[in-house]
Structure 1
Amino acid sequence: MLKFGISPCPNDIFIFFGIIEKKIKTEGLDFDFVIEDVETLNNLCMEKALDISKISAHAFYYLQNDYIMLSSGGALSEYGPVVITKNLEKLKNLSNIKIALPGRLTTASALMWFYWQKNFPNKKYIVEFMPFYKIIDKIIKEEADIGVVIHEGRFIYSLKGLELVEDLGKFWIQETSLPIPLGLIISQKSLNIKKALEKIIQESLNYAYSHFDEAMKFIKKYSQELDEDVIKSHIQCYVNKFTFDMGEKGIQAIDELIKRIERHAIWS
């Protein structure tokens, strides 16, 4: 029985629906799914507590000695995290800025660091790391000046009366001309089941697309946001050709992220 970590976000549940619900053949492999926030999964992999897992691409920098990256099941997109605030005008006058981030090892955290260093190198900051679903409330209550939102957050922040500071996905694409390497699937090198896992994930994806309504009902058991349009938008943004196979472009994007992480002490 292999411990397999995924997040409760719509794109992950959609991708792995066919496996979780035993709708497809799994090459004789059995999985025990651990469904947790991606930063929790990052940290579990740091402890080698999971055999296979979705992780943030940022976290792979620290995990590449023990885990291998799969070409299927990841999240590479043209849509990335967004930086939000309650009041843009007030933000301009602050010398100390409180930043809410969805976990130290998330790709959102790395992208925000790159953006901050380029645009506000002389500003002081106070960083607080927290689960992604707490950030919007933190900004509404003005317990943080800016926050980086991921997953469903990018689709609903404006409905809560919050304002956009920067789209970190657009920032990354302008800097690199590469897709945004948000997350990927890894497995422990010692397992030697990469090809089998990639095939299973692709078959699970095909099952979800051909049983879309069934998959949608299943997703709602886990999603933070139950509005069907938000869930569909999430899937359309983060499940794409790179999810089936990240290809050369996807590998280039992850390599570029890792090179940039090597050059920076992120939020030190």
Structure 2
Amino acid sequence: MLKFGISPCPNDTFIFFGIIEKKVNTQGLNFDFVIEDVETLNSLCLEKALDISKISSHAFYYLKEDYEVIPSGGALSEQGPVVITKNPEKLKNLSTIKLALPGRFTTASLLMWFYWQKNFTDKKYMVEFMPFYEIIDKVTEQKADLGVLIHEGRFIYSLKGLHLVADLGEFWIKECSLPIPLGCIVCKKSLSIKETVNRIIKESLHYAYCHFDEAVKFTKKYSQELNEEVIKMHIQTYVNEFSFDMGQKGIMAINELIKKIPEDGIWS
């Protein structure tokens, strides 16, 4: 039995619907799915507790000795995390900014680090890491001055009276001319099952598209946002040609991301 970690976000549950619901041939492999926030998955992989998992591409920097990237099932896109605030005018007068970030090892936190180094050099920061679904409330209640939103949050923040400060996806693409490598699927090198798992994921993804409404209904069991239009928008944004095969461009994007990580870490 292989422990397989995915997040509850719609793109993951859509992609892996066919496997979880036993709609596709798993070629003799048996999976025990662990469905957790991506930062929890990052931490579990750092403990080597998962055999296969969705992780943040940022986390791969710390996992590359023991895990290898599977080409399919990941999340690469031209749209990424967004930085939001309740009161844009207030930011100008702050010497220290309170940040709400979705986990130390998330790609969003790394992208925000890159953005901060170029745009907030005159400010100090106080960082609080928390589950991604708590950040909107934290900023709305003005317990944080800036928040970085991932998953469904990027589609609904304006409905909560929050304002866009920066699109970190646009920032990344302007810097690197590569898609944003938000997350990827990895498996333990010691298992030698990369090619088999890759084929199974592709079959599951194909099944989800062929049974789209059924797959969307399945994602609602796990999504933080139950509005079907938001869920479909999420899937359309983050399930794309890179989900079938990230290709050389996807590998380049991950390598470009992790080579920029400073040796002394981020948000110290």
Normalised TM-score (structure 1): 0.99
Separation (CA, whole Å) in 2 of partners of 1:27 and 1:46: 27
Aligned to 1:112: 112
Residue equivalent to 1:20:
20
The answer to whether structure 1 residue 66 and structure 2 residue 81 are counterparts is no
- In structure 1, the residue corresponding to 2:185 is in which secondary structure? strand
Separation in 1, partners of 2:45, 2:262: 20
Q: How does 1:158-237 map to 2 (within 5 A)?
A: 158-237=158-237
**Structure 2 counterparts to residues 29-44 of structure 1, below 5 A:** 29-44=29-44
Partner of 1:90: 90
Q: Secondary structure at the match of 2:97?
A: strand
Q: Distance in 2 between matches of 1:163 and 1:121?
A: 21
Deviation of 1:122 after TM superposition, in Å, equals 2.5
**In structure 2, what is the equivalent of residue 129 of structure 1?**
129
Deviation of 1:101 after TM superposition, in Å, equals 0.1
CA distance in 2, matches of 1:95, 1:262: 24
C-alpha distance in 2, partners of 1:238/1:266? 26
Alpha-carbon offset, residue 91 of structure 1: 1.2
Counterparts of residues 137-156 of structure 1 (less than 5 Å): 137-156=137-156
Q: Tell me the alpha carbon deviations over residues 107-144 of structure 1, each in whole angstroms, 9 at most, x when there is no partner.
A: 00000000000111221000000000000000011000
| Alignment-mate amino acid for residue 215 of structure 2 | A
Aligned residues: CA RMSD: 0.7
The amino acid across from 1:101 in the alignment is: L
SS at 1:23 equivalent: coil
Give SS of 2:260's match.
helix
Instruction: State the secondary structure of the residue aligned to 2:165.
Output: strand
Helix, strand or coil at the partner of 2:225: coil
- Cα drift, residue 264 of structure 1: 6.1
Give structure 2 stretches of 5+ with no counterpart.
none
CA offset digits 1:141-177 (Å, max 9, x no partner):
1000000000000000000000000000000000000
Q: Equivalents in 1 of 2:180, 2:6: separation in Å?
A: 19
Note the C-alpha offset of 1:72.
Answer: 0.5
Partner letter of residue 44 of structure 1? Answer: L
1:166-214 CA-to-partner distances (Å, cap 9, x unmatched) read: 0000000000000000000000010000000000000000000000011
TM (norm. structure 2) is 0.99
SS in 1 for 2:203: helix
> Mind listing any 5+ residue stretches in structure 1 that lack a counterpart?
none
Q: What SS does the corresponding residue of 1:181 show, helix, strand or coil? A: strand
Q: In 2, distance between residues paired with 1:52 and 1:137? A: 32
Change in Cα spacing, 1:127 to 1:39, as seen in structure 2 (3 Å) is same
**Aligned match of 2:79:** 79
* Residue of structure 2 in register with 1:51 after alignment: 51
Residues 88-113 of structure 1: CA distance to partner in whole angstroms, max 9, x if unpaired? Answer: 01111111100000000000000000
